[in-house]
Amino acid sequence: MKFDPATLVRCLLGAIFVVAGALKIGAPGDFHTDLAAYAIPLPDFTLRLIAVAFPFLEIFCGAALLVGYWPETVGALAAGLCLGFVLMLGQAVLRGLELNCGCLGNIESGWFQQPPVALARAALMLWAAIWSWCNPVMPARPPRLTSRADLAPTQTL
């Protein structure tokens, strides 16, 4: 079997999304608190909706990346999510906000969850998402028939 870097990158990105979503899914209140700390001008209802729905989107996207389902569509979705991460974290760094990024749910906060580190992580994920989106690994397909002659049975005696 030949080593395929596109598959490795896609699967790593998918695993990160699944783990991140799974860590947030059980504590939407904590995720809502992390989102509110970004102080973006969105209604509280919207932040609550994001806190409940977003982990499911992350898990769906990650699982689809892991199994290679709809690589062009899910690759674009993953790149869009990662771009959102970069924008949110970038504005937090520029504004000097001290917060828990919320990326990995309510695990122990520390240097790994600080905005500059999370921004670097998100930028790396954005690169991986764009690269895997531009280099999709398509499943093997059966050969296509090119003419009606291909349908005719062969005669052997």
Indicate the pLDDT class of residue 141, thresholds 50, 70 and 90: low
**Which residues, 6+ apart, have CB-to-CB distance to 16 below 8 Å?**
62, 125
Is 74 inside any structural domain?
yes
Is 122 inside any structural domain?
yes
pLDDT digits (tens, 9 = 90+) for 103-116: 877 776 677 777 88
As for how many domains the chain has, the answer is: 1
- Distance between CA atoms of 96 and 37, rounded to whole angstroms? 12
Domain that holds residue 77: 5-138
Reply yes or no on whether the pLDDT at 144 is more than 70: no
Is 77 inside any structural domain?
yes
Is 157 inside any structural domain?
no
- What's the burial of 91, exposed, middle or buried (CB within 10 Å: 0-12/13-18/19+)? middle
pLDDT digits (tens, 9 = 90+) for 78-90: 999 999 999 999 9
Is 51 inside any structural domain?
yes
